Amino acid sequence: MKAIKTGLSLLMLAGLTIVASQTAFAAEAAMMKLEISDGPAIKSIKKSLTGKTGDPAKGENMMANRKKGNCFACHVISSLAKKAAKNPKKYSDMGDIGPPLDGVAGRYTEGELRALLVNAKLAFPDTIMPGFYRTKGFTRVKGKFKGKTVLKAQEVEDILSLLVTFK
C-alpha cells in the first residue's frame, strides 16, 4: 500500500500535465478537470473524467477489444471468462501477467481505480501495464498514435463502471 500511496501522490503533478497536454483535444480537455484530493487512505481521481457516468456494457467491450483496453491480455476476470464458451473470440485467452481482477472493487475505491487506469505507473513505477489516459513522456510513438491517449476519457469511465461491480 505504501508504494501506491507515494505513487498516487505523484498523480497530482501528472494530472496537471495531462490537462496541459490535451490542447489538441480541446473539447475533451474542457470537460476534463482532474480534481485530485487526498482521500482518507490514498490519493485518487474522484471525479469522472467526462462528468458523465460510464456504461458497463460498453466497458466490457473495451476490456475485451484488442485495439482498445485489451485488459484480458494480462488479467483474468472469472465472471467474464465464463462467457468464453459462447463467444470464444472475445472472451477467451485471458493472460496471466497481472493479478486477476476479481474482487478488485473491494481492494480499491472508484477514485483509486480511475487513477490506476489513467496511469498505473504512478502506483507501480516499473509496471508493464500501459497508462490508458496519458499523452506525455513516451518514446518513439508510431505516427498514428502520436499525441493520443490509448482510451478516450469516456471509454475509461465505461471500463470503470464495470470494474466497480467486481466486488
Partner 1 sequence: MIRKTPELAERSNMRQLFKMVLAGCLAGSLMTGAAMAAADGKSEAVTPTSKDHPLEEIWSGYHFAKKGTKETQDNEFDNPGNLWLEQGMELWSKVDGDEKKSCQSCHNDAAKSMKGVGTRYPIFFPPWKKLINLEQRINLCRTKQMKAKAYKWKSNELLGLTIFVSRQSLGMPAAVVLDDKTKPFWEKGKAHYYKRRGQLDMSCAHCHQANYGKKIRSNTLTQGQANGFPTYRLKWGKPGSIQRRFKGCNKQVRAKPYKMGSDEYVNLEHYVRWRGQGLPIETPSVRP
Residue type, 41: A
Closest CA relative to residue 48, chosen from 147, 137, 164, 167: 164
| 128 near ligand HEC (CB under 6 A) | yes
Rounded Cα distance, 115 and 118, in Å: 5
Q: Does 116 bind ligand HEC (CB under 6 A)?
A: yes
When binding is defined by CB under 6 A, the residue of 7, 15, 54, 69 that contacts ligand HEC is 69
Q: CA 22, CA 24: separation in Å to the nearest integer?
A: 5
- Name the DSSP letter for residue 76: -
Minimum separation from the CB atom of position 87 to ligand HEC (A): 18
Pick 52 or 66: Cβ nearer ligand HEC: 66
Please give the residue ranges that form the binding site for ligand HEC (CB under 6 A): 63, 69-71, 73-75, 97-99, 101, 104, 107, 113, 116-117, 124, 127-130, 132, 159, 163
